[in-house]
Structure 1
Amino acid sequence: MTTDLEKSLAAEFTRAAEHAPKAADDLRARIEAGHRHRRRRGVALYAAAAVVVMSTGGTFAVDALSAHEPAVAIRPTATALPTASPTPSVKKPAKKPTPKPPASPPAPDRSFPPIEKVWPDAVHTVPAALPDGRPFHPELFLDDHTVLARTEQGGNPDRMDGLWAYDITSRTARRLVAVTPPPRTVVTASFVSAGGGQLAWWTVRKQQNKLIVDIWTAPSSGGAQRRVTSFEGVPRYGGIDLAIVGGKAVWSLWGRGGVHQVSLSGGRPEQLPGSAKHTLIGWPWAASPGLSLNRTGDAVTFGDLLDLRTGESSQATARKGSTCLITWCLRGSTATRRDGTGRRELPGFPDGGVATAPALDRFLTLVQRGKGGRLRGQVLYDLATGRAADLGLRTDGGSQPSAASLDYRAPGLFAYQRGGKQVIVNLSRIR
């Protein structure tokens, strides 16, 4: 990523945060600082949906969504009025100042057990580097003890150079794919997908005055990368959601409606029937409007849900400004089901702001605040069971912790840095 892009993102963080529910004075600065240490994968979603935009020349700028969470209304405290005095010698009591209401309702000051205690079978603490000393990024679980790990050339997320099988028990690693981005690559996939014994990812390259998307695959057991298809043009809001389904690559482009597919053996991409206004949120589900299409904030993001297998659709009845997935809708620190029932007050605020949607349709990371609104830490919260676990991230003497961000597109794996190591959570093992 370029220096200009980083500066643009920093500016957009500030503008986008103005639309999010206000918390303690130092909360946004602390969370933003943590996000700046994360990979590019969290930028678009977790900065209140600030998203990368491709210009005609292939350079990058940033466009923040105008969709935002309406400010939480706080009932003002009634002003104490002076009482009438029967004699002029009795002074009227001084008018009491109106206490300044908090900008947003404080999250409950609650403590939760450590994540290792709550879900011991799903949590693994491993080194931050492979045995050869190279930093790695966990992508997904290939099986219960093997993680697909990603390495990058020079720490550049757009220069992925290898995919590895990392054994979280023996702490050994085996390279599966020597990844070679094509010349003049400007963007690389935020996530690697898996299915049917194949891995898949995408890249965007600059070719003369055009931008070309390439979709790649490689065997999950190891082998050479192979280009599946290429097409001109990139999404206005720079990202592609990609899945492997039934021997096909299925994807949608951020900022444009339509879910597309192509055989892994190659061919011409085609749009799935009835999906023209929808974006893929996890097979077989697509939804509309997308995060980047709900620019006015007067609709329910992902409110219109479409089953790509059957063509059946349903509309969420959640309040405007909510963000939904398949079962749950979020608005501020409140969750409800798509039909408006099952209201649940969350023990904290989703750390992704207004654009947050639950991973695997159930998991959220929540920012916790203590007394006085000071940042106290973060928890992983399970909407399905109501259980929460402390991530072990703390402030110490005003220092800034590394924020742990959970992207709804993450395929069942949640990882974050803590104490110089990586904590890897297999979300699919949580019951």
Structure 2
Amino acid sequence: MGVDGERHRDGRAPGGSRTLRRVIVSAVLGVLCLAGALVAIRDVARGAVSPHPKAAGPVSPSPLPGRIPIVRLIQPARLFWPGAVHTLPATLPDGSAYQVVAVLSADRYLVTTGEVSPAGATAVRVFDTGTRTVTTIAALPPNTPGQLQLGLPRNALLYPPLVDGDVVTWADTVIEGGSPDTEVWAADLTGGRPVRLTRIPGTSRGQAREVGQPRPVDGTVVWDRYAQSTTTGIYRVPATGGTPAPVPGTAGYDLVTGAWAQPAGRQVAGGAGSGDGGGSGDGAGRDELFDVLTGRRMRVPVGGVGHDERLECSPTWCAGAGVENISFAVVKADGSGGPTELDRPYRLADGGAVALAAGSDKHGNPQGVVVWNPTTGVWGGLDASYRVPDGSLSADVRVLQAQTVPGAPVEVFDLTVVGRPA
């Protein structure tokens, strides 16, 4: 068993096996080609249309319409947010493929390598395209051919790493003595070795324990833990190390963005869904958003998209689906303005400042991604080569990467540009 707050001697974070993933609004994910933060409008289209009326000059928040029009032709997102598009070399200097998980600056990117997927990535690195240098933050032990060929538990990251300021966090599993142990790590991007924040032994049946995606927030790291896919509580610890402490009253809560959590299931109070809403035991019910670091609680909207509603909220916006996923809407977190209805599923991204929609045809083939800032009302399209990073089930995803042919330059779209005030 590991020791909380232990610093790994060689700066390498041991890795681990594929673990069960917390699936949020499974019906929504069914139309997406990956797990991620997604919204939808209609087909991301081809062809020219007149410029978006809000594309030129600054825009200001305005009331949302009652329904988003069906969009068959949409302008490329790069026309509205040219600063969001980054083109990078096809590989790292050593020839390795990579996945961009965060834009750190104009020429510095947080990337993962190994198998370019969260279930197989084995290293966290910083790629400086200006100097063509790569700094390794953490590298996991290599997997054996038997692990890879027989589908055995593997050393791997569980989710894409997340960044807040100079702090980066990730979770992995490490195979030692036949048991896949789960770990949570943090590192300072300005230097120093990674700090192992916790290590959780696997079960007696050789299965890894479930943890949610660790989130760095103002020098503290928070994550949720599960048992049989049910949240057992949210934990917090300084990013510099220490003993993780459970946050009282968070059993049954899921982290949704940063330190904000909602009762699992996201069924709002007054709906017809089952369950007691989890959580605090103070009668807050299912329509609550809870900051696990400050203790702040805020109500989220009730009503608007059906009788059995599931809303996932940030402090600014809520996105959700009605009964049997036949209606979808976004609404301001304070409940003002009423819901804006959409015709397909959607999810929040960039901490809830952006909404994303994955378009698909009747056969489920991807037809691109719609990027929408619900505050300004501006949206644009990305072509079908774009995907949300596989394995990221939170509203904290901040980068989309196009899937290109081997040898072609890597293109990424920085969602934080979309969510910035005009």
Give the Cα–Cα distance (whole angstroms) in 1 for the partners of residues 287 and 209 of structure 2.
19
State whether residues 301 and 331 of structure 2, in contact with CA within 8 Å, keep that contact through their aligned partners in structure 1: no
Give the equivalent residue in structure 2 for 1:192.
Answer: 161
State whether residues 160 and 179 of structure 1, in contact with CA within 8 Å, keep that contact through their aligned partners in structure 2: no
Give the Cα–Cα distance (whole angstroms) in 1 for the partners of residues 140 and 231 of structure 2.
28
Give the Cα–Cα distance (whole angstroms) in 2 for the partners of residues 358 and 348 of structure 1.
19
Give the equivalent residue in structure 2 for 1:382.
Answer: 373
Give the Cα–Cα distance (whole angstroms) in 1 for the partners of residues 367 and 237 of structure 2.
47
Deviation at 1:336, TM superposition (A): 1.7
Q: 2:140 aligns with which of 169, 180, 184?
A: 180
Cα distance change on mapping 1:376 and 1:249 into 2, 3 Å:
closer
State whether residues 123 and 423 of structure 1, in contact with CA within 8 Å, keep that contact through their aligned partners in structure 2: yes
Give the Cα–Cα distance (whole angstroms) in 2 for the partners of residues 145 and 297 of structure 1.
47
What is the one-letter code of the residue matched to 1:197? D
State whether residues 107 and 369 of structure 1, in contact with CA within 8 Å, keep that contact through their aligned partners in structure 2: no
Deviations 1:115-173 (A, max 9, x none): 11110112223344223321111111223431111111x557445443332245x4824
* 1:275 pairs with 2:250: yes
Cα distance change on mapping 1:226 and 1:288 into 2, 3 Å:
same
Q: 1:329 aligns with which of 296, 319, 322?
A: 319
Q: 2:224 aligns with which of 233, 236, 252?
A: 252
State whether residues 109 and 371 of structure 1, in contact with CA within 8 Å, keep that contact through their aligned partners in structure 2: no
Give the Cα–Cα distance (whole angstroms) in 2 for the partners of residues 237 and 384 of structure 1.
39
What is the one-letter code of the residue matched to 1:284? A
Matches within 5 A, 1:46-65: none
Give the Cα–Cα distance (whole angstroms) in 2 for the partners of residues 151 and 371 of structure 1.
34
Give the Cα–Cα distance (whole angstroms) in 1 for the partners of residues 338 and 209 of structure 2.
32
Matches within 5 A, 1:382-401: 382-393=373-384
Give the equivalent residue in structure 2 for 1:124.
Answer: 86
Deviation at 1:185, TM superposition (A): 4.6
* 1:412 pairs with 2:420: no
Deviation at 1:308, TM superposition (A): 2.5
Give the Cα–Cα distance (whole angstroms) in 2 for the partners of residues 350 and 221 of structure 1.
39
Deviation at 1:223, TM superposition (A): 4.7
State whether residues 347 and 368 of structure 1, in contact with CA within 8 Å, keep that contact through their aligned partners in structure 2: no
Give the Cα–Cα distance (whole angstroms) in 1 for the partners of residues 168 and 111 of structure 2.
12
Matches within 5 A, 1:22-61: 34-35=33-34, 42=35
Cα distance change on mapping 1:318 and 1:423 into 2, 3 Å:
farther
Q: 1:213 aligns with which of 182, 187, 193?
A: 182
RMSD between superposed Cα atoms in Å: 4.4
- SS of the equivalent of 1:134 reads coil
Give the equivalent residue in structure 1 for 2:262.
Answer: 287
Deviation at 1:182, TM superposition (A): 8.9
- SS of the equivalent of 2:101 reads strand
State whether residues 318 and 329 of structure 1, in contact with CA within 8 Å, keep that contact through their aligned partners in structure 2: no
Give the Cα–Cα distance (whole angstroms) in 2 for the partners of residues 161 and 369 of structure 1.
31
Deviation at 1:366, TM superposition (A): 1.6
Deviations 1:337-377 (A, max 9, x none): 235443454665236xxxx3444213222244799999754
Give the Cα–Cα distance (whole angstroms) in 2 for the partners of residues 339 and 215 of structure 1.
34
What is the one-letter code of the residue matched to 1:268? T
Give the equivalent residue in structure 2 for 1:304.
Answer: 288
What is the one-letter code of the residue matched to 2:170? W
Give the equivalent residue in structure 1 for 2:125.
Answer: 164
Structure 2 length as normaliser, TM-score? 0.63
- SS of the equivalent of 2:351 reads coil
Give the equivalent residue in structure 1 for 2:97.
Answer: 135
Cα distance change on mapping 1:316 and 1:185 into 2, 3 Å:
same
Deviation at 1:203, TM superposition (A): 1.6
* 1:230 pairs with 2:220: no
State whether residues 237 and 243 of structure 2, in contact with CA within 8 Å, keep that contact through their aligned partners in structure 1: yes
Matches within 5 A, 1:58-137: 108-137=70-99
Deviations 1:178-227 (A, max 9, x none): 41249875552312133463322122235557553222233313454342
Structure 2: segments with no counterpart, 5+ residues: 1-17, 39-66, 144-152, 279-285, 322-326
Structure 1 length as normaliser, TM-score? 0.62
Deviation at 1:392, TM superposition (A): 2.3
Structure 1: segments with no counterpart, 5+ residues: 22-27, 36-41, 47-104, 394-400
Give the Cα–Cα distance (whole angstroms) in 2 for the partners of residues 239 and 321 of structure 1.
26
Deviation at 1:328, TM superposition (A): 1.7
State whether residues 68 and 340 of structure 2, in contact with CA within 8 Å, keep that contact through their aligned partners in structure 1: no
- SS of the equivalent of 2:94 reads coil
Deviations 1:283-323 (A, max 9, x none): 3312112579x9x9557897321122442323323343322
Give the equivalent residue in structure 2 for 1:84.
Answer: none
Give the equivalent residue in structure 2 for 1:66.
Answer: none
State whether residues 182 and 210 of structure 2, in contact with CA within 8 Å, keep that contact through their aligned partners in structure 1: no
Give the Cα–Cα distance (whole angstroms) in 2 for the partners of residues 157 and 284 of structure 1.
22
Q: How many residues align?
A: 333
Give the Cα–Cα distance (whole angstroms) in 1 for the partners of residues 259 and 394 of structure 2.
15
Give the Cα–Cα distance (whole angstroms) in 2 for the partners of residues 120 and 348 of structure 1.
28
Specify the structure having the higher radius of gyration (Cα): 1
Give the Cα–Cα distance (whole angstroms) in 2 for the partners of residues 262 and 344 of structure 1.
37
Deviation at 1:114, TM superposition (A): 0.9
Cα distance change on mapping 1:203 and 1:181 into 2, 3 Å:
farther
Give the Cα–Cα distance (whole angstroms) in 2 for the partners of residues 322 and 259 of structure 1.
21
